[in-house]
Amino acid sequence: MEGVPESGDASEEVLEKEMVFLSWLQDNGAQLDSLIWPARDTASGMRGAVAKCDIQAGAPMFEIPLKLMIYVNTCVKCKDLADIYKIHSRFFESDDDLVIALFLMHEKLKAEDSFWAPYINMLPRPCGVADWSYEEQMFLQDATLVGQARRRDHEISQVSSSFAFSTIN
């Protein structure tokens, strides 16, 4: 494809998602003039960004408008979710991540009808240390971290069960 950066090991599907995301950013006021993104000719060979020019200390490398930021205020302004956030305010007050997680799930279900689809389509599949095998976790050589990861997985399950139960009642 003309105008597409070197792909390395990226599939056509990944390249297309990147170009849609980049266009979405630029169409909505993001300034990326000092960078080449996505770039795969990085030291690691993985997708990254490369400066097109010298960037002075303290100068922004890129600018993303607030309207492209997903934060608590973005989420609670969602008309589709406003009642849920209000009715279950005690649940959501405990952790801002829960507010954002519900918003992202809602927008993901809207698929291409979501304003946020180009961003959501770029997100990696969620995973963490708790998803690793026991043998892989032992390579960390940190029993405390492994324990925290396993507890966090359990906490997430409890929170989802708690929310599901509270929305039913």
Among 95, 116, 93, 94, smallest CA distance to 105 is for: 116
Write the CA distances from 57 to 43, 54, 60, 61, integer angstroms.
22, 9, 9, 10
User: Taking the complete model, does pTM exceed 0.75, yes or no?
Assistant: no
Which tokens is 4 given? Answer: 């597409």
Task: Report in angstroms the alpha-carbon separations of 23 from 36, 62, 70.
Answer: 13, 15, 18
Measure the CA–CA gap between 116 and 118, rounded to whole angstroms: 6
User: Which alpha helices (H) appear in the chain, and where do they start and end?
Assistant: 12-27, 72-76, 82-87, 89-93, 96-109, 117-120, 134-138, 143-168
Name the nearest CA neighbour of 161 among 108, 104, 91. 91
Q: pLDDT digit of tens for each residue in the chain (169 aa)?
A: 334 344 456 789 989 999 999 999 999 999 999 998 888 877 777 888 888 999 999 999 999 999 999 999 999 999 999 999 999 998 898 889 999 999 999 999 999 999 999 999 998 877 778 788 888 888 888 889 888 887 877 777 777 676 655 554 4
Q: Where are the domains of the chain?
A: 1-64, 70-123, 126-169
Spatial distance between the Cα atoms of 74 and 117, rounded to a whole number of angstroms:
15
